[in-house]
Amino acid sequence: MTRIRVPDELAATQLKYNGEAGRAFITALPARTADFLDHWNLRVDGPAMHGVTALVLPVVRADDTPAALKLQLLDAESEGEPTALRLWNGNHAVRLLDHDPTTGTLLLERLDHTRMLSHHPDAHEATQVIADLLAHLTSVPAPPGIRTLGDIATRMLNETPQALRHLPAAPETRTLLQDCASALREVAPDPGDRLLHWDLHDENVLAAHRAPWLAIDPKPLAGDPGFDLWPALDNRFDPDDITWRFEALTATLSLDRERARAWTLARVLQNALWTIKDGDPLNTQNLELAHRLRHLTNKKPRSAGS
């Protein structure tokens, strides 16, 4: 029976973000990996890889097809992943080969992990790649059962007053985050119904033989595509490039730019609320992004159907 060693970094992040549930996941991971290698008749084909929350093993199936075994903690963010991947069916996203609904374990097509979009030398071209992927991925209506941006927006607006009261920051920072909440309040009644990736940054885009670039690791939401723009603005952050990237993204996705601006400010607020909850300093890069977008225009967002 193949036994794997859990990377120390993965164990540490699971414990940090998921507490005892993360500890239990890490403890069970070697046996779970061995079980799925046997269950799906896989053999390991290289060293293990990991992100913040998942272990990924390159494997080969019984018919010699390369694949990737992804083992992760099943939670609100990961539970919709197989649903989204099945719906996209390999169209601009990694193809799902099999999955176990009880544990959230996935068997995926093998992409080239050595060729991430983050390695692309041209930041503008990389932004356009993400824009093109999002234009296709978010064209699909979200299926029933996917968590909704409307629920998330409501929680954010409910949490903001308490979070800002205890924020040890300069008054202008508090005002900036209040403006983000105001922008969210404008668009929250019409949260959208598209299938969102939510986390399409340039390390979640890999090259493949069958396509130049494919999206991986979605954290699916049902909502407005404007909520999906923030990672492409944050990648290789350049404050002087924000306007160009924002215009390129909104143009490619054919978005109303005022609504997209509001939903992007909502993403900044979401990140800030998480940071405040964890007791960490606010991300100055995020604050600068909000500052630049806040002054991009003062027009009131139109409804999604206008």
Alpha carbons 219 and 1: distance in angstroms, whole number: 32
For the cut 50, the answer to whether the pLDDT of residue 100 exceeds it is: yes
Q: Exposed (0-12), middle (13-18) or buried (19+): which is 125, by Cβ within 10 Å?
A: exposed
Confidence at residue 76, expressed as pLDDT on a 0 to 100 scale? 87
pLDDT tens digits, residue range 155-172? 999 999 999 988 887 899
Counting residues of the chain whose pLDDT is more than 90, the rounded percentage is 87
Count of CB atoms situated within 10 Å of the CB of 76: 9
Q: How confident is the model at residue 2 (pLDDT cuts 50, 70, 90)?
A: low
CA distances from 296 to 18, 34, 46, 256, 262 (A): 37, 53, 48, 14, 11
CA distance 55 to 48: 7
Q: Which residues are paired to 99 by β-bridges?
A: 106
Residue recorded with tokens 């093998």: 110
Work out the average pLDDT over 190-219: 97
CA distance 186 to 168: 27
Number of Cβ within a 10 Å radius of residue 43: 11
- How far apart (Å, rounded) are the C-alpha atoms in residues 75 and 114? 28
Q: Which of 39, 43, 90 is closest to 66 using CA atoms?
A: 43
Residues 6+ apart with CB under 8 A from 19: none
Asked whether the CA dihedral 245, 84, 53, 276 is positive or negative, the reply is: positive
For residue 140, pLDDT over 60 is answered with yes
C-alpha–C-alpha distance, residues 71 and 287, integer Å:
34
Rounded to whole angstroms, how far apart are CA atoms 70 and 189?
36
pLDDT tens-digit series, residues 278-289: 888 999 999 999
**50-98: pLDDT as tens digits:** 988 899 999 999 999 999 999 999 998 899 999 999 999 999 999 999 9
- Residue 301 scores a pLDDT above 90: no
Mode of pairing for the β-strands spanning 105-109 and 214-215: unpaired
The catalytic site residues sit at 199
Average pLDDT, the chain: 94
CA distances 51 to 116, 181, 267, Å, are: 13, 30, 21
